[in-house]
Amino acid sequence: MAKWIKVKNNTKINLSDIPGMRIDELREQIIELGKRPIGFFGKDWGFGYVRLFVVLADDANCDLYISSAIFAPNDKSYESITQYVPSFHIFEREFYEQFGIEPLHHPWLKPVRQNQDKYPFFEMEGEEVHQVAVGPIHAGVIEPGHFRFMCNGETVYHLEIMLGYQHRGVEDMMMKNPSNQLAESINGDSAIAYSIAYSQAIETLKGFEISNKAQLIRKAALEMERMAIQIGDMGAIAGDIAYLMGAAVFGATRTLVINTMLEFSGSRFGRGLVTVGGVNYDFKEETIQKALETFDKVGKDVDRMAKTMLKNSTVMSRLEKTGTVSMEKARDIGLVGMAAKASGVELDTRFDFPDKWMSELGITRKPFKGSGDVNSRFKLRYKEVKESLSMIKKIFNKLKDYKDEPIIVDGVNNNYASDAMVVSLSEGWRGEIVHIVMTDINRKISRYKIKDPSFNNWYGLALAVRNNGVSDFPLCNKSFNLSYSGNDL
């Protein structure tokens, strides 16, 4: 029997087709295959058994490899994979926390979302060494998380990040009572991306396809979300280095984008737009015309401000060589999305797992040469804003061909396929959002697994601040702008 089943993203997989093997064999297989993990999670398999599913991404060939291992009720440990492939570190920690099966010789088996107060933080000793503890409530209006810095004078030797304060048990809720509204609230800054990932998964399991028009509207909305956040974050980075001109201008420019979203969908973040079966609101011709005019202005404003800002030597001295993550480290620890791209690792599911529109609209990948510092992450955002703008124009143009198509199609009330699984990917502005949904023989959802890009990337932030001044932490943090709620679920 084959060791792996090779599938495409957003296709129905029969659970019975997924190979199962011993965990030792699976570990060797993972090492041999050398692909990137995007799913590594357990499922209660009845009578005390636990089945561990592994989903690996072959980004070069847009394939997914899936396999599994079964743990008997008294199998309470296994040799960890992280020892050999470091990027599994967070996945194995999560699996341990959820199922209590211990990965032996895991280099750092600490909590992911629970027991924050019981965990003994890593400590350093020495005359000059001191600790700085921040959070869970931070100084700004942001989500909660605890940061513990080990400093020598002003220099950060090590940062430990403890999360889980936002844990709401979303996976469980999505299994019992899934809805687009809930999907949008898993991570409210990526509402569209989450709603798309959820809707795609459900549509695949219910076995129907949405109209071309709805696909294009979703795609346009996703790019608008990306553009708005990237502009906002450029402003936030400017704010953190006290370049208030940039903070004000980018902030005002972002408002133009999200207000356009409001005109399309009735919500500044596009809530209520995407639904299982298509989209709830049509993109009307006159609104599109108005949006195009606004976006022209947005493009010019961002250009003008970014160029002015990047010419400023005091700005550059703060951005350059601050918070660097090398390409090698980024690859080793398995960074994804924006954080990976800024370090020169091109990962973008829009291009790695393209839909039919990418070739039809002639959208190609333009590689980004990044050195992994704050400057790279700033410039990457600038580049993505420009790319999203040009994509949106192409999508709006294409929409005209499908004027008469419905925005929503029948099929919402279909039954789920039985004993099936689907892996749904969507590229939010932070990176890949993975929703994996399983059904049982009674056609009910039996497991809902979510992976936010922040899940991979938080450790990248911890590495970025090493040997930087502690006062540069806010700047590093903002340049990543990772999600707490997406990580904590």
User: Residues interacting with another protein, by CB under 8 A?
Assistant: 113-114, 116, 136-137, 139-144, 164-169, 172-173, 176-177, 179-182, 184-189, 191, 232, 245, 248-249, 251-252, 255, 259, 262-269, 271-272, 280, 304-305, 307-308, 311-312, 483-485
In the complex with another protein, the residue whose CB is nearer, 127 or 286, is 286
Least distance in Å: CB of 10 to another protein? Answer: 24
In the complex with another protein, which residue's Cβ is closer, 167 or 321? 167
CB of 444 to another protein, least distance (A): 17
**Nearest distance, CB of residue 301 and another protein, angstroms:** 8
Q: CB 9 → another protein: shortest distance, Å?
A: 25
Q: From the CB of 57, what's the least distance to another protein, in Å?
A: 26
In the complex, least distance from residue 113 CB atom to another protein, rounded to whole angstroms:
8
Q: Which C-beta is closer to another protein: that of 242 or that of 262?
A: 262
Cβ 187 to another protein shortest distance, Å:
6
Q: Which is nearer to another protein, 82 or 483 (CB)?
A: 483
Residue closer to another protein, measured from CB, 181 or 415: 181
Closest distance to another protein from the beta carbon of 144 (Å): 6
Task: Indicate the residue among 203 and 352 with the shorter CB distance to another protein.
Answer: 203
Return the number of the residue (179 or 212) whose C-beta is nearest another protein: 179
Nearer to another protein, 113 or 226 (CB): 113
Write down the residue that tokens 């569209």 correspond to: 192
